[in-house]
Amino acid sequence: MRLEFKLKPGGNNGIVLRAPIVPGKALCPVNEIQILDDTAKQYATLEPSQFCGALYKVFPTKRGSLKPVGQWNEMEITAVGPRIRVILNGTTVTDGDISSLHDSKLFKSHPGLQRTSGRVGFLGHRDHVEFRHIRIREVAKAAWPNR
């Protein structure tokens, strides 16, 4: 998935990966790629796995690639099998393999973590976020990009 996003100060949203459709439920346990204004004062004490580009509370993200609030950011998310990589403004900020995780508490708190297929969605926390140039394509497992 490739897209561009722009946040307002303090903005907090996310991209859902591999979500199942569950009749009667608006949201079920999902994997979320965090979209967040890392510079906002209210987020100063977050864990590394809660900042922009992280697989929320699973894989930490490398900070410093987010553009200033109000500017467009480019994000590429690749999720093939157990591996998830996020590139933010040309820099790989998250690159993790779920099959390398062995913490039963983590899997209990993220019941959808081992799901390898599902829908893509956009989360909201009542914060304004803009998206544009959204492109999604299916990638074969053997076609994992090396860049």
Domain spans in the chain, listed from the N-terminal domain onward? 2-138
pTM: 0.89
98 neighbors 114 (Cβ within 8 angstroms): yes
pLDDT single digits (tens) 37-95:
999 999 999 999 999 999 999 999 999 999 999 999 999 999 998 999 999 999 999 99
Written as six digits, the tokens of 74 are 């480019």
How is domain 2-138 classified at the CATH fold level?
Jelly Rolls (2.60.120)
Cβ atoms within 10 Å, residue 59: 21
Location of structure tokens 């040309």: 90
Distances, alpha carbon 121 to alpha carbons 8, 10, 14, in Å: 20, 21, 9
pLDDT single digits (tens) 85-111:
999 999 999 999 999 998 888 888 887
Residue 134 DSSP SS3 = strand
Q: Give the confidence band of 31 by pLDDT, cuts at 50, 70, 90.
A: confident
